[in-house]
Amino acid sequence: MGSVVESHIQQYYVDKGGSTALMNRPIAAFGFDDTFQISAFQPGAASSFELVGRDWSYFFEQSSAQSIDSDTSKNKSFTISDGTATATIQLTSNFATMDAIVNTINNRLTNAGVKAKAEKVNATQFNITSTTPIGNIIIDGVNKADFFE
């Protein structure tokens, strides 16, 4: 049943606007045997929808679903460079400990090839240092002042 509903949803959006509309549709459906579920296909408020028609209540208890956008106001971003390579540090998770933040920063530094490392100073502070004896570290970015003096 779910694949039948999903096929109808896909065809509706293809007819409406081609592959772009299909890939940006707000909903999808899936199911097993004689049941199906309509779910969000896009993140945030773009996935809000309303079921209409005289038989919607035969299948569902409510006719609409209203999603909201994620609150990204607490996300932080800064860059760390060794003069050659630059890592963009985007802190978009809720970190339980300073160790978790330090691990995330070190992973990004390693992946970007920046010759620097983050070290935990205490439960509320970390430090960035060069891993080469003559290296300089350049810290910049939108939220630089939130972390560094």
What are the distances in angstroms from CA 28 to CA 53, 63, 65? 18, 15, 13
Higher pLDDT, 24 or 80: 80
Residue 104 pLDDT level (bands cut at 50, 70, 90): very high
- Cβ neighbours of residue 15 under 8 Å, at least 6 residues apart? none
* 30-40 mean pLDDT: 81
Per-residue pLDDT of 76-96, as tens digits, reads 999 999 999 999 999 988 889
Tell me the C-alpha distance between 101 and 99, whole Å: 5
Q: Which residue has the tokens 């049943």?
A: 1
Single pTM value for the model: 0.56
Of 128 and 134, more confident? 128
Average pLDDT of span 126-149: 92
Q: 114: number of CA atoms within 13 Å, CB side?
A: 27
- 114-125 pLDDT, tens digit each: 999 999 999 999
pLDDT band at residue 127 under the 50/70/90 scheme: very high
For the cut 90, the answer to whether the pLDDT of residue 140 exceeds it is: yes
